[in-house]
Every structure is written in C-alpha cells, then in structure tokens.
Structure 1
Amino acid sequence: MNKYVLHIVASVICILTPAVGLLYGLWDSHQPKIGPVGDGKPNYPTIPQWISIVSSFICGIVNLPLAIIRYRQNIKPNKDIKS
C-alpha cells in the first residue's frame, strides 16, 4: 500500500468515524436510564464534542478529493515508465 492509498483510507476513516460515533451517541442518549444509572434526561453532545466531530468530518471531506487527485496523478507517470 503506497502513501496515496493510505491518504484515501485515512480520509474515509475521518468521514466514517465521527458519523458512526455521533449516531451511536444519539442512540445511547435516547435509551432510558433510570435508577442508579441516571435520571432519565438525555445526555446530548456538548460544544467541545461537536467541534471534534465536525472538524474530523470536514477534514475527511476536504482531503478525500485531494487524495483521489494525487492518486490519479501518480498512476499516470507510473504507466508511462512501464510502457
């Protein structure tokens, strides 16, 4: 695996991880918690949690097209060398 494929994989992970984490957090906050576990109020994400979720997602969204462009540029010189 070269660095261009790793860049694409890292960008996809940066997109999927916050989305899955956010969905899990919202699902967990709507589960009934009574007794010693909690008082039944949902625990929504705070501002610092939102910032980390959104910044990671935006980082992945911005870097994915750049990674694909760099990967395509790398393929063309390699085909010319082999021919």
Structure 2
Amino acid sequence: MHKEEVFEIVKRCICEVLPELKDHPFHYEDRLVDLGADSVDRADIVMKTMEALSLNIPRVELSGVKNVGELTDALYAKL
C-alpha cells in the first residue's frame, strides 16, 4: 500500500466522523482540531482508520501527531 492510499483512508474516516467536511480539500498540514474535531472525534477517526488498515497499535503511539499528514505517516510506518 502506498502512503497516498493511507492518506485517502484517513480522509474517508475523517468524513465519516465529520460529514460536513466531505467537500473539504484536505492537505497534509490540516490539523483535526482546526477542522472542528473534538477529542472524541479525533479518537474515533484514529480508531476507524486503524480498523480500515487492519492495524492494532496503542493509541499512545499516535499521541504526538500534530496534523493529518503526521497521522498518515505514523500509520503508514506501521503497515
């Protein structure tokens, strides 16, 4: 799987949790909090994305990510 595919899955999961962003032009530097995701939304996005990628990693390993791109990179590194 390519990193761009992981990014597409992350975007899809964000839109599942925050449907109002379905037409948002996502960029790697987008921060979930700036997109309107509260802490519960962010946790849900991470869990949905990990499920979609069949990953089971401790969420604490992802606690330092600052934006959508870093989340994509961190998940891609675990594949």
Bigger radius of gyration: 1
If the length of structure 1 is used for normalisation, what is the TM-score? 0.29
TM-score by length of 2: 0.30
In terms of fraction of residues, the more helix-rich structure is 1
